[in-house]
Amino acid sequence: MADHLESQGWREAPLSEAEKAFCAYADKLTRQPESMSSADVEALRAAGWSDRQIHDGCQVIAYFNYINRIADGLGVDPETWLPPN
């Protein structure tokens, strides 16, 4: 699954509708954080996610966005085991 996500992206991956809803949420939070609203949370609830799952997922997404921006902002080179973009 991870290889498919890396090569094809989440939109083409064999994910459930609930998983695709969370991926859309993560994509929007990452790329357009200023446009997030309560409607985004409501869409996750409608897809079957609990408030705890939404909270925990948001924490993980925000943490990875944060740490990547810190690394980028400080010019930290990727780990040598990571393939180049």
pLDDT at 77: 85
By the 10 Å C-beta count (0-12 exposed, 13-18 middle, 19+ buried), 78 is classed as exposed
Query: Is residue 51 assigned to a domain?
Result: yes
Query: Is residue 41 assigned to a domain?
Result: yes
Query: Is residue 58 assigned to a domain?
Result: yes
Query: Is residue 27 assigned to a domain?
Result: yes
Please report where in the chains the tokens 């290889």 appear, as a residue.
3
One-letter amino acid at 53 equals Q
CB 41 within 8 A of CB 54: yes
Task: Indicate which CATH number applies to the domain containing 40.
Answer: 1.20.1290.10
How many structural domains does the chain have?
1
CB 28 within 8 A of CB 40: yes
Residue 39 CA to residue 53 CA, distance in Å, equals 16
Please report where in the chains the tokens 């990571």 appear, as a residue.
82
pLDDT at 3: 58
pLDDT 10s digit of each residue in the chain, 85 long?
Answer: 555 555 678 899 999 999 999 999 999 999 999 999 999 999 999 999 999 999 999 999 999 999 999 999 999 987 777 676 6
